[in-house]
Structure formats: structure tokens, C-alpha cells
Amino acid sequence: MKKILVAVSILVVAFFAFMKFGRSIWVPIYTQMKGRETVKSIVHKIGNTALNRLQPDLTAAGFKSLPHEIALVAIKQDQILEVWGKLDSEWMLIKKYPFTAYSGKPGPKLREGDKQIPEGIYEIEYLNPNSLFYLSMKVSYPNEFDKEKATEDGRSDIGTDIFIHGKDNTVGCIPIGDKAIEEVFVLASKTIENNIRVVISPVDFRLTNYRPSVANINWEEELYTTLEKELKKFSQVR
């Protein structure tokens, strides 16, 4: 009986861990099985309209067709999300979208419930066509750097479920409004197979050497040096 109870306990823990950290696997499958909106159905409904709105920006950035690879750059101080596309071997700025709400302050996300927008280099894990915030895109927080520093600091429960989404409220995510998320969502649906990099920085290190000081950690210089190097890839402003 004791062995059975231990086995059941292990299965329960594994189940809840998978539900929390395996969302990129089970959410798309669940959505499809439940018969609600899918990425395909959303793109069918709004794709042409969203891309028509984006076309002048794509043309101005030098794209004759949709980019095969995009990246997202979020500057917390400016409350701006930049969408970049790769043209040949160069990253070109396509469009900027203002945040429609903001929470937290400069500094990385350290724990669940701190209302901080993360800082670091991430990817889009999956697109959510059934978000409570209209449409959303899952950011891969925590990344390996976040986990490593949490272990070093002795922190647990560092949070998850960070999204870029529509509407105009947030407690640690990046909202950009409904029309904006339509455009980014549709563009992401065309390029997600090529990995969509997401760079989130407290300030624009392309324009300043200022380093925010963050209480209770001693590794912000390491993080911000990495972000400064990454941001320099995105400098072809039209």
C-alpha cells in the first residue's frame, strides 16, 4: 500500500508540473480538441485585414513579401514593442507598437506575483487564439538564465505564464491592444516555425549606457551586458 501511495504522489506531482511547465505542448492540443478557435481559424478571419494594415510598413522596410523570420524587441522604459523582420541577412524595423498598460519597474522578474515584466532573451513558445485578452503569444519565461540565477539566489516559485497580448491591462505581461496584437499574431503565425526571438530590456541600450540598479541581486550587470550585445543586432531603423 505504501508503494502505491508513493507512486500516486509522484504521478500527481508530475501531472501538475506538466500542466504548469508543459503548456507549450498541451495548450495547442487541448484547444484543437475542444473545438474552439485555432490559429488557422483566427488567421482565416483576420489575416487579410491585418496584413493589409501592415503592408505599408512592410513595403517601407524593404519587404516585397512577408519576412520568413521576425523578432520582437520590447523596451520597458519606453513602453514600446518593436517588430523586426530579417531581410537577407539584416534585421529591418517593420513597426513599433506602444504598450497599452504597464506594471512593475526596471529590473527582471524574480518571483511569482511581483508584477514584473521579465528582462532577457526569450522565444515565442506558442500562439493562443483563445486568450482572455483576445489573442496572445506565450513568452518562454523563465529561460535557462532565469532558472540558473534563481538557483544561485535560493529563490523558488519564480513565476511563468508571461504573454504578449491584446486589451489594455496587465500584471507582468505586455499588452499592445487588439488591432496591434492582430497584426503581430498573424505575422507570427507565418514565421513561428523559424523561432521568434523576444528581447525584453529595461532601457534601450542602443541609445544609453545607463544600467538600472536592482535590489536584492548582484547579477544585473551580466544580464544587461548580454542584452546590450543582443540589441545591437537590431539597429537598421528606417
User: pLDDT tens digit string along 17-69?
Assistant: 565 555 555 555 554 444 589 999 999 999 999 999 999 999 999 999 999 99
Average pLDDT value for residue range 131-135: 96
Average pLDDT value for residue range 165-175: 96
Whether 12 has a pLDDT exceeding 90, the answer reads: no
Average pLDDT value for residue range 77-93: 96
Q: Could you tell me which of 202, 210, 207, 200 has the C-alpha nearest to residue 230? A: 200
The pTM of the full predicted model, rounded to 2 decimals, is 0.85
How much is the pLDDT for 16?
Answer: 58
